Structure 1
Amino acid sequence: MIVVTGASGALGQLVVQGLLDKVPAAQIVAAVRDPAKVAHFAARGVQVRQADYNDPASVDAALAGAEKVLLVSSDTVGQRLPQHLNVVAAARRAGVRLLAYTSILRADRSPLALAEEHVATEAAIRDSGLAYSFLRNGWYLENFDSRIAGAAQRGEVLGSAGDGRISAAARADYAAAAVTVLTADAPQPVYELAGSTSFTLAELAAEVARQTGRPVSYRDIAQADYAGVLSSIGVPAPWPSLLADADAGTALGGLFDEGKALEKLIGRPTRNVAQAVEAALK
């Protein structure tokens, strides 16, 4: 039995959908805070179990009988570690054969502040004694949707990434990798996963210009100024500082990777920036 936590989220739903193509529905558990959000999976025969990362008893119940577990990292930045530790402890009690975890690209040496909780979670999983696979995901192309839409309207992409290259892939690409790992006989302990191709923010702006037929440029500003811009347009804390930090980390190479491990794992190239711009503009 394979348990996917956070199965009502964008990534979790794609993973469950992918698993349905490979294993019987009755062998899949969608663990979610609100079971009503995945009624469509229940209708297809998936076991739906209520689980809240903050409630250890509910996580224990959700993982009962599990052979493999995908811990989809929490989106509650700053509170992730204790939530993840609850899942790791429950996985130990359940005696799972594999605990897979969605981490961040090169977590152990990433310059991004977002890596800190991932590093701590990875350490806890290693210390648990469980067999594990760290799916160290790079940036999602969907992270740029609002930038693309804004650039199409204002003719400008703002950021503080300099000439740093970004090896982003679509959420569906990372989900396909998770499905492959969860259904493999002997997965690797660590996968560094990133897009088949890379781009700079200036190249992203150029692609928006090409597809809209309007002038679009990239304007590089100081990290603190970019955080201020994000705050001014209503991005909630702590995301302005974290996203500006991610841009600064991009300038240091934190989101660039040319190993093509993701492409090799899923057996096809990942979605590219032109496809991402086209999807975001629709």
Structure 2
Amino acid sequence: MSIVITGATGQLGRHVVEALLQRNVPAGEIVAAGRSIEKLADFAARGVQVKPMDYTDPASVAQALQGASKVLLISSSEVGQRLDQHRTVIEAAKAEGVELVAYTSIANADTTGMKLAAEHQATEAILKDSGVPFAILRNSWYLENYTDQLPGTLAQGAIAGSAGEGKVSAAPRADYAEAAAAVLVAENQAGKVYELGGDHAFTLAELAQEISAAAGKPVTYQDLPAEDYAGLLTGFGVPQPFADILADSDLGIARGDLLVSGSDLRELIGRPSTPMPAAVRLAVASA
């Protein structure tokens, strides 16, 4: 029996595989599944099972899940196509008779009005109707959503957005990955719903202040109407549909949709979440 990590070639998936290994899960009991398995050669060299899997190919999904006891369904990155892809994994997991499917959803999925949440909400509904034992990992924003943009932020001296004074409970991918690993190795997780976010929420203006302090140069937050922000993003080459989703997500932040008040993340990983200032300092030092 094995633990299957779908989308293991992605950044979150790789962190989860590493977190399982650090928890002393035998490498041979971990299956790292993804499209480009050459990206998983380093894990294969450490004894992790590596299997090709494409969310759009039911046969590959079924094969990757053979012998699985637990599955981490990492949400697809293909916004607008995710629901059918997720359904394929859930159906394969049901056919295999797995003990648990853990799904990476979005914070406050039961109440948020963010456009980005729609496919997560529908996936949660499919899981609940499937009869498969499941756990929901409702992740807030990744800090990397901001720190990965650092070169551009420093060049422009500004962060643009439409989040107003709303706060976001962001944490690094590695923290969410540790939480996922904790759920996968624990018993009696069926039916659990975890709201996961960083311990210290922040506004985008506070983020700009931290970047400015760490980099030693002025960085400000420019709050824009959502339509203007989406236009700015398209000017940088972001496709219009995704630019609209990003701008809408900022409006969600303004409403508090990505604000997590509980301590689920801290309790699962057994330590405080990585604070935004520490992540910013590390990113600035690496920029």
Same fold flag (TM > 0.5): yes
Once the two structures are TM-superposed, the CA of residue 232 in structure 1 deviates from its matched residue by 0.2
Q: Which residue of 2 aligns with 1:162?
A: 164
| Counterpart residue type for residue 55 of structure 1 | D
Deviation at 1:150, TM superposition (A): 2.8
Match of 1:76 in 2: 78
| Counterpart-to-counterpart distance in 2, 1:176 and 1:83 | 24
Of 249, 259, 266, which aligns to 1:256? 259
Instruction: Report if aligned partners of 2:198, 2:274 keep a CA contact under 8 Å in 1.
Output: yes
1:114 alignment partner, SS class = helix
Equivalent residue letter for 1:175 = A
Does 2:49 match 1:36?
A: no
* Partner in structure 1 of residue 54 of structure 2: 52
Amino acid at match of 1:16: V
SS at match of 1:166: coil
For residues 25 and 146 of structure 1, the distance between their equivalents in structure 2, rounded to whole angstroms, comes to 30
2:259 and 2:118 mapped to 1: Cα distance? 18
Shift of 1:41: 1.1
Deviation sequence 1:183-226 (CA, Å, 0-9, x none): 00122520000001111011111111211222222111100000
**Count of residue pairs brought into register by the alignment:** 282
List aligned pairs for 1:209-248, cutoff 5 A: 209-248=212-251
Q: Which residue of 1 aligns with 2:180?
A: 178
Question: What residue is the counterpart of 2:3 in the other structure?
Answer: 2
- Matched residue type, 2:271: R
Cα distance, 1:237 vs structure 2: 4.2
Indicate the residue corresponding to 2:19 in structure 1.
18
**Pairwise CA distance, 1:145:** 2.1
Measured at CA, do residues 154 and 34 of structure 1 come closer, stay the same or move farther in structure 2, by a change above 3 Å?
closer
- Compute the displacement of 1:279 (Å): 2.6
TM-score (norm 1): 0.97
The alignment partner of 2:209 has SS state of helix
Q: Which amino acid aligns with 1:15?
A: V
Alignment of 1:51-200 (within 5 A): 51-187=53-189, 189-200=192-203
Question: How many angstroms does 1:147 deviate by?
Answer: 4.3
CA distance in 1, matches of 2:65, 2:148: 36
Could you report, residue by residue, the CA deviation over 1:242-274 in whole angstroms, capped at 9, with x for unpaired residues? 111110111000111121210111111111111
Counterpart of 2:206 in structure 1 is 203
Asked if structure 2 preserves the Cα contact closer than 8 Å seen for 1:149 and 1:280, the reply is no
Residue type at the aligned position of 2:157: G
User: Per-residue CA shift, 1:117-168, capped at 9, x if unaligned?
Assistant: 0010011111111111000000000000254433322222211100000110
Identity %: 54
What per-residue deviation string (whole Å, max 9, x for no partner) do you get for residues 72-109 of structure 1?
A: 00000000000000000000000000000000001111
- Amino acid in the other structure paired with 1:37: K
2: CA distance, partners of 1:51 / 1:146: 27
Question: Can you give the 5+ residue segments of structure 1 that lack an aligned partner in the other structure?
Answer: none
Bigger mean CA offset, 271-280 vs 65-74: 271-280
Cα distance, 1:110 vs structure 2: 1.1
Describe the SS at the equivalent of 1:163. Answer: coil
Q: What code does the residue aligned with 1:190 have? A: V
Aligned partners of 1:230, 1:18: CA distance in 2, in Å? 34
Does the 8 A contact of 2:230 with 2:240 survive in 1? Answer: no
> Which structure 2 residue ranges, 5 or more long, are not aligned?
none
Q: Helix, strand or coil: the match of 2:110?
A: helix
Distance 2:181 2:80 in 1: 28
1: distance between equivalents of 2:147 and 2:242? 16
- Mapped to 2, the partners of 1:4 and 1:151 lie a distance apart of 33
Which sits farther off after the overlay, 149-158 or 42-51?
Answer: 149-158
